[in-house]
Structure formats: structure tokens, C-alpha cells
Chains A and B, each alone.
Chain A
Amino acid sequence: MEKTNTRTRGASFLFSKVEPDHVFTPEDFTDEHRMIGTTAKQFVEKEVTPHQGQIEKQDFKLIVTLMQKAGDLGLLAHSIPEQYGGLGLDKISKGIVGEMVGQSGGYGVAHSNHTCIATLPITYFGTEEQKAKYLPKLASGEYIGAYCLTEPNAGSDALSAQTTARLNETGTHYVLNGTKLYITNAFFSDTFIVYAKVDGTKFTAFIVEKDFPGLSLGPEEEKMGIKGSSTRSVILEDCQVPAENLLGEVGKGHVIALNVLNLGRFNLGSACMGASKYSLSKALQFTQERKQFGRAISDFPATKQKVVKMAGRIYATESLQYRTASLLEEALGGLYESSDWKEIGKQMSEFATECAICKVYGSETLDFTADETLQLHGGAGFIKDYGVEQIYRDSRINRIFEGTNEINRLLIPTHLFRKAMKGEVDLLSKVQQAIAELQESVKLDNEPLAEERNAVDTIRNLFLLCAGLAFEAHGEGLVHEQETLMGLADLAITLYTAESSVIRTLRSVKRYGEEKSALKINLARVVLEDSLWDAERLSRTLTMALTDGEKQKQLTGLIFRECSQLRSVSLSVDKKRELADLLFKENKFIC
């Protein structure tokens, strides 16, 4: 896509309309993107999936072999610059590989953990020497990496870490002490990005090799899912880390830890999308084979309803993931060779809101899809042989790691309020404009999807209305009002999903016409129907909590009237059934 001067700013979708031409969609993939997708998919289907049994039994040697095979194909090298043995590809390619390995459960987690949070700290914050020493090996799979932030007493509150680092008297080594908990890939990792506090106060990142004296591993955790990824504690007892292995600057570890998680959250969304598609295709296949009451289960409208809901959520996930991928590319594409850590940190956090939404919406889409797929399998869903209970178990962790979904939700509105406080956004006038727009009667334009776009604008106005009310009611104390923040976060998520789906569809209609975009239009309407109900419920609940008396009556009435006018965008029951039949014919998600 063409670069424009008017660069999209992070979280701007919350208060202004997006220019459709600035939204990247899967329909904008290049031939290279498609080929990369095919290769990653074939790798998973031919090399990984056939060994699912062994992977579940935690054959870690096999995982390492598979990672090296992935390395041979370049699947570990997409986000490493060319000069350090990588490919220096864009974030869209990263998203595509993430999506494709996502269906492989434990292997996928090991793979993505390695390419993302375990490697990116060095890619973006390493010195030239550190990059030259570690990146080529991480790109090829000769080395596998881990990221060690969590501690027994520092989970969500990661910066409260108790691990310490002290420079020895000769100044040659830092001596690290502490325990890192639940570390993915621990058993077979060669490099560990460890966060510790220099002199007990300055949060700092280090590259620790597995053979450095004083590093040991705890026993393998017995966990619910993603068994192919090793999870152990990493114990540091007077661990000797050469001074040159300090990553970034003393006291600036949080810039690395938190910013790399932004990309991790985006990537987690991609992986969840891939797994959701896989899950849906299993549901589509099984329900057509299974007969009860003399018919295939897929013939029952209740089944079709479930299938359509799953497909709608997947369409929304796909739309917002690739939209975000391109935003991240805009921010970071030019920075592979930069050593301006401050700028890198700034660009990595620019789209923190969007990345948090990718994480939350992706993981919850997968949980929903896995649950419904299991349900549609009946008793078979509960039985191991059918491979569905594994999807269900593997799914659950995604709402917990890389920042729990609660922590990510809290981040979404907080980010905006911080911008408003700093004067980067004139929230007050945006809120007033939103209220005015809600009260006016709108004239639809003659461009395609006018009603759908109008619905998206209404959701944005509802968000702004509630954000204004929240600010009015609580002022700076808002950060402690978590119920309100959760509601605002859900409204923001609803807005981003609805807008991404509608704008993607609009771009398709403009390019290929309505007929060829029929499926996308229907899926966007499925998304929008849910979005509108959610937006109405959320904004009325917030208004009830934040106002009283006559104002409350007026505003809840306004919300009800506005949302009721927009119901025409939802799809009829017959159309939904047709949509399901189409998916059954294809046996997989299409759009």
C-alpha cells in the first residue's frame, strides 16, 4: 500500500473515522504473502500435524527438530534483518506465519514464542555485537529462545520483579539472583531474555545463555494444554552474565519488556485466528458426517446458527489482525537497522491499544470457537481421539499469558485517557461532537455500505459518549474505576471489530463489486449485528452507572432510539442459513 503523509496514529479509531484506503486487508496480500502462507501451512500440515500424538507426550527432541526444519524453510527468520541472517520481512508476513502455525497448539506456541518475544528484544534493542552473535542462530533454529519476565510474586505486576543483578567488583559480570516462573521453551532454550533489577531498583534486560554458571531449570510444569511447549521455572543462583550481555540500558528494561509484548499480543491474535479456522473446519466436517434423527447434524438450524456465529467472529478477527499488521509495519518497517532505542520504543507502543484488542478478541474468539466446536461434536468432543478436546485445552492459556485479558482491557481506555491528559487528543470536543451527532438525524451517502458505515459511526459515538461520562464522573480517579474501564474497553473492542470488518468489506465491494463480495457483506452484517447489541448493552449499562435522574433517562432513551434505527443491517434468518450452507460446502472458513 502507498505510504501517505497523514500517518495513522495509535488508538485514533476511537475518536475519528478511518480513511478506507489506509486500511490494509487480506485482499491486499502480494503474491509473496500468499506463497509464504502456503509454505507455512504445508509445513504445519506435513511436518507437525502428523506428529500431534508425540507432541502431546512432550517429545521435546521432536519439537527442536521441527523448529530446525522450520528454520531451514525461513519460518523463524521473517522478523530478523537480512544482514543478520534473517529475511527482514514485513509484519504482514509475520502475521501470516503466526496464523498458519497457530493451528498446531503446543508446537505453535513454542514457535511463536521463539520468533516473537524471545528474539525481538535482540532484534530491536541489541548492540551490533549482540545481534551478530545471536540473531543468525535464532534465525536458523540452531538456537531457541525464551523470555523470562514472570516471577512467583510478579505476574500481572511484572515490573515488581524481585530478581536482582549486581555488577561484580571487576566489572566483568553481572551476578543475577532470582526465580522466573512459567517460562515457555525453558527446557530446550539456548538464550533466555531475563529481566532483573540492577542494585535492586533499576529494571534491566539481559541475554543469558543456558550454560552460564548459576542457571538451572525447575521441573516441567504439568499443565492443562499446549503441552508441546516446555514450561519450567528458570532459577538464577549467582548466575554469571558477562557485562556485554546487558540488553539496552540499565534501568530501561521495561521499555523492552512491555513493548515487545505489544508485538507478542498482535502475534497471539494471529495464532488464535489460525486455530479458530482449524477448529471451525473440524466442526463443519464433523456435523456433516454425524447423523441423528435421520439427518446430518449440519441440517439443523441450531447448528447453522452456531457455524455462522463462529465464521462472523473469524471474519472480524482476520479483518482486524491484518489491519493492525499493516499499522505495525508502518510504525516499524523502517527500523530494522535503527539503533535509536527511544524511537523504537515509541513506535512499538504507538499501537498498543490495537495490539491489546488483537490479543483479547483473538483469544476470546478461539475460546468461543473451540467451545462450540466441542459442543457440536457432542460426546465425541469430550473424547481424546477426535482431537477437539485438545483444541479446547490448548485455547485456554491465551486469555492468560502475554498479559491477562483483564490487564489488556484495562490498558485500552487508560491509554486514551493518558493521551487526553497529555493534550495529544482533544477528547472533550470529540465527546461533544459525538453527542451532537447522536442527536442529529443522519443522511446516508450514496456510496456502498452506507448503513453499515453509519452503524460503525454510531458505535464510535457511543464509545465517546461513555468515555466523556466516565471522565466527568471520575476525573483522574477513573484509573481505579475498573468496572467502568472494562465497559469502555469492551466498547472499544466492539468498535474496532465492527469497523475493521465493514471497511474491509467496503474495500472489497469497491474493487470487486457487490456480487463478488456477497459473502463478505453477509459476514460483515453478522459481525455488525452482534456489535450493535453489544454496543447498546454496554453503553446503556455504563450510562446507568455513571449518571442519574433526568440525564440518565434522556441518555438511555437516546441510546435505545439510535441503536433501534440501525437494526436493518442485520441478516435475515434465511440468509444466515444460506451462509452456513455455503460454509458447509467448502468445509472451511471462506469469505
Chain B
Amino acid sequence: MNIFVLLKRTFDTEEKIVISNGSIVEDGAEFIINPYDEYAVEEAIQIRDSQGGEVTVVSVGGEEAEKQLRTALAMGADKAVLINIEDDIENGDQFTTSKILAEFLQGKEADLILAGNVAIDGGSGQVGPRVADLLDIPYITTITNITVDGTSVKIVRDVEGDSETIEAALPLLVTAQQGLNEPRYPSLPGIMKAKKKPLEELELDDLDLDEDDVEAKTKTIEIFLPPKKEAGKVLEGELDVQVKELVSLLHSEAKVI
């Protein structure tokens, strides 16, 4: 099977994030493989191990994303491709990324494409479905289980807490939800082997794309952190006094009624 995984480098949102001059401070931030993409990599490796074939991980980003691609190679992926847009694109969005990825995947005869359900930084959940749409293949989002048998695929997907079982056929794009698997961490032999695996670097030119072709459709107006959680308030006094105070606070302070 010819399997592709779409992978994004993102900062670790479990670490503290600092915003300065309207953008996120990258100095000192920890960068990781987007956790949902990590499920996708793991699943791709497992499917490859049982079905045969090859796993290629693809990332659109800058030079630094090479580290995350190497990690995916160390986990067991066979090849990696970095589409380096550092010099060409300043403000991309989900459209930009999907367009580039689709252009790259065009003609690659992918049987299965796996992506994360969302990226934990942008959180749009759009890239996977957009790529499928551009490639004109079906897609299934938020999957928690997948079994491949020849060209038929059986999938369980998470629908807001319930699950839904779907049968589909290859070629197909799926996006990974938490619970799909427990991603392995690379073994030391894996890490040393990854050094020798192919990592190809492309630029927009190589895909016959122009900056205009991929110009963002959205504009980021402002980036801000969620408000700091204030300490709670304990109301005191007779019950009916407390209720009255609560109602008045909900009205005047929380402004929810």
C-alpha cells in the first residue's frame, strides 16, 4: 500500500505560551509533532506492517520541521518530504496548506492518506477534508479504528462521544481522533536508522505553484490568550439572600443573563 501521512510541527500547548507583539513567541517554546498527527503516523506504520507497502510523511512548513519529520522516520515511516515554504509565504492559512499538499499528492497514487483530526495550534480541522476534496477522493474524519482488507476499509469514527461504523473503499483520506492508538516513541535503533532514511525537500517552484495560487483566504486579526482564571467566590448568608446575590452577579458581573 502507498500510504501518506500529513504532519504538522506545532508548539506544545501543554507548555506555557507567551504572546508578544501580536504573535506567539517561538524562542524557548517546545515544538512537537501535532499529537493528532502522531496517531496518524502510528496507524500508518501499523497498517504498513500488516499490509505491506510504504509510509511517506509530508509536512508543509519551514526548515525546522525537519526535526519532527525525523522523529516520524525514527518511529518507522519510510520516507519524508518537507515542502519548505519559509521563503515564499508569510501568512498562509488552511487553504494554503491544503492546496500545496494536494498539488504534491496529485499523481502520487496514494491508497490511503492519514491526517490529524485537528492541529492543536490552529484547531481548524480543515486541512484533511480540503485535501481530499481537492484530490476528489472520499474522506472520513475523527476515526478511532480502522481495518483495511484489500481495497475495502472498515472504520469506526467518533461522533461527539458516540461511535459510528462506516465501510468505505480505497483510495481514502481519514483524520485521526484521540483513542485511535497509543503512539510509540522511537526506539534508539529507530533513531539511528532514521538518519539514513530519505528526507526530500521541495519548494513551491518544484510543485509548479505560484505564491498567488496559494494566497490565504483568511486574515488573522488578533491573537490573544484566554483570560486568566479568577479566584472563585463563596457566597454567604441565608439561602434566599445568596440566591439573590447570585442572580445579580450573573447579571452584572458575569453578564450571562
* A interface, CB within 8 angstroms of B: 31-32, 34-36, 38-39, 42-43, 72-75, 77-78, 87, 89, 93, 516, 585-586, 590
B67 partner residues in chain A, CB cutoff 8 A: 31, 34
Contact B16 A585 (CB under 8 A): yes
B192 partner residues in chain A, CB cutoff 8 A: 32, 87, 89
* B191 contacts A by Cβ under 8 Å: yes
- Expressed in whole angstroms, the minimum distance between the Cβ of B77 and any Cβ of chain A is 14
In the complex, 22 of the A-B residue pairs with CB atoms within 8 angstroms, ordered by the A residue number, are A32-B191, A32-B195, A34-B67, A35-B74, A36-B191, A38-B71, A39-B185, A39-B188, A39-B191, A73-B187, A74-B188, A74-B189, A74-B190, A77-B188, A78-B188, A87-B188, A87-B192, A89-B192, A93-B188, A516-B27, A585-B16, A586-B16
A414 to B129: give the CA distance in the assembly, Å.
71
B61 partner residues in chain A, CB cutoff 8 A: none
Which partner residue on chain B sits nearest A516 by CB separation?
B27
- Expressed in whole angstroms, the minimum distance between the Cβ of B107 and any Cβ of chain A is 31
* B186 contacts A by Cβ under 8 Å: yes
A38 partner residues in chain B, CB cutoff 8 A: 71, 185
Contact A39 B16 (CB under 8 A): no
B187 partner residues in chain A, CB cutoff 8 A: 39, 72-74
- Expressed in whole angstroms, the minimum distance between the Cβ of B20 and any Cβ of chain A is 14
Given contacts A31-B67, A35-B71, contact A89 B188 (CB under 8 A): yes
A43 to B184: give the CA distance in the assembly, Å.
10
B195 partner residues in chain A, CB cutoff 8 A: 32
B185 partner residues in chain A, CB cutoff 8 A: 38-39, 42-43, 73
A39 partner residues in chain B, CB cutoff 8 A: 185-188, 191
Question: In which size bucket is the chain B interface?
Answer: 10 to 19
Contact B188 A31 (CB under 8 A): no
Contact A31 B70 (CB under 8 A): yes
Which partner residue on chain A sits nearest B27 by CB separation?
A516
A31 partner residues in chain B, CB cutoff 8 A: 67, 70
- Expressed in whole angstroms, the minimum distance between the Cβ of B81 and any Cβ of chain A is 18
> Besides A39-B185, A586-B16, 9 other CB < 8 A contacts?
A32-B192, A35-B74, A35-B194, A36-B188, A38-B71, A73-B185, A74-B191, A516-B27, A590-B28
A72 to B70: give the CA distance in the assembly, Å.
20
Q: Which positions 36-93 of chain B face chain A at CB distance < 8 Å? A: 67, 70-71, 74
Which partner residue on chain B sits nearest A72 by CB separation?
B187
Which partner residue on chain A sits nearest B18 by CB separation?
A585
A74 to B188: give the CA distance in the assembly, Å.
5
Which partner residue on chain B sits nearest A78 by CB separation?
B188
A75 partner residues in chain B, CB cutoff 8 A: 188
A43 partner residues in chain B, CB cutoff 8 A: 185
Q: When A and B form their complex, which 10 residue pairs have the shortest distance between CB atoms, in order from nearest?
A: A74-B188, A42-B185, A73-B187, A35-B191, A74-B187, A39-B185, A74-B189, A32-B191, A39-B186, A87-B188
B27 partner residues in chain A, CB cutoff 8 A: 516
Q: Chain B CB within 10 Å — which of A73, A75, A78 has the most?
A: A73
Q: Which positions 141-191 of chain B face chain A at CB distance < 8 Å? A: 185-191
B70 partner residues in chain A, CB cutoff 8 A: 31, 35
A590 partner residues in chain B, CB cutoff 8 A: 28
Q: Chain A CB within 10 Å — which of B70, B71, B192 has the most?
A: B192
- Expressed in whole angstroms, the minimum distance between the Cβ of B69 and any Cβ of chain A is 11
- Expressed in whole angstroms, the minimum distance between the Cβ of A291 and any Cβ of chain B is 12
A250 to B76: give the CA distance in the assembly, Å.
47
Which partner residue on chain B sits nearest A32 by CB separation?
B191
A93 partner residues in chain B, CB cutoff 8 A: 188
Q: Chain B CB within 10 Å — which of A39, A87, A89 has the most?
A: A39
B186 partner residues in chain A, CB cutoff 8 A: 35, 39
Contact B16 A73 (CB under 8 A): no
- Expressed in whole angstroms, the minimum distance between the Cβ of B190 and any Cβ of chain A is 8
A34 to B185: give the CA distance in the assembly, Å.
13
- Expressed in whole angstroms, the minimum distance between the Cβ of B32 and any Cβ of chain A is 9
- Expressed in whole angstroms, the minimum distance between the Cβ of B199 and any Cβ of chain A is 11
- Expressed in whole angstroms, the minimum distance between the Cβ of A138 and any Cβ of chain B is 15
Q: Which positions 185-212 of chain B face chain A at CB distance < 8 Å? A: 185-192, 194-195
B194 partner residues in chain A, CB cutoff 8 A: 35
Which partner residue on chain A sits nearest B16 by CB separation?
A585
Q: Which positions 1-35 of chain B face chain A at CB distance < 8 Å? A: 16, 27-28
- Expressed in whole angstroms, the minimum distance between the Cβ of A136 and any Cβ of chain B is 13
- Expressed in whole angstroms, the minimum distance between the Cβ of B191 and any Cβ of chain A is 5
A89 to B189: give the CA distance in the assembly, Å.
10
A248 to B71: give the CA distance in the assembly, Å.
41
- Expressed in whole angstroms, the minimum distance between the Cβ of A255 and any Cβ of chain B is 30
A42 to B38: give the CA distance in the assembly, Å.
15
A67 to B50: give the CA distance in the assembly, Å.
28
B190 partner residues in chain A, CB cutoff 8 A: 74
Which partner residue on chain A sits nearest B189 by CB separation?
A74
A61 to B186: give the CA distance in the assembly, Å.
25
A585 to B70: give the CA distance in the assembly, Å.
30
- Expressed in whole angstroms, the minimum distance between the Cβ of B178 and any Cβ of chain A is 16
A34 to B70: give the CA distance in the assembly, Å.
11
A586 to B18: give the CA distance in the assembly, Å.
12
- Expressed in whole angstroms, the minimum distance between the Cβ of A73 and any Cβ of chain B is 5
Which partner residue on chain A sits nearest B70 by CB separation?
A31
A161 to B9: give the CA distance in the assembly, Å.
57
Which partner residue on chain B sits nearest A77 by CB separation?
B188
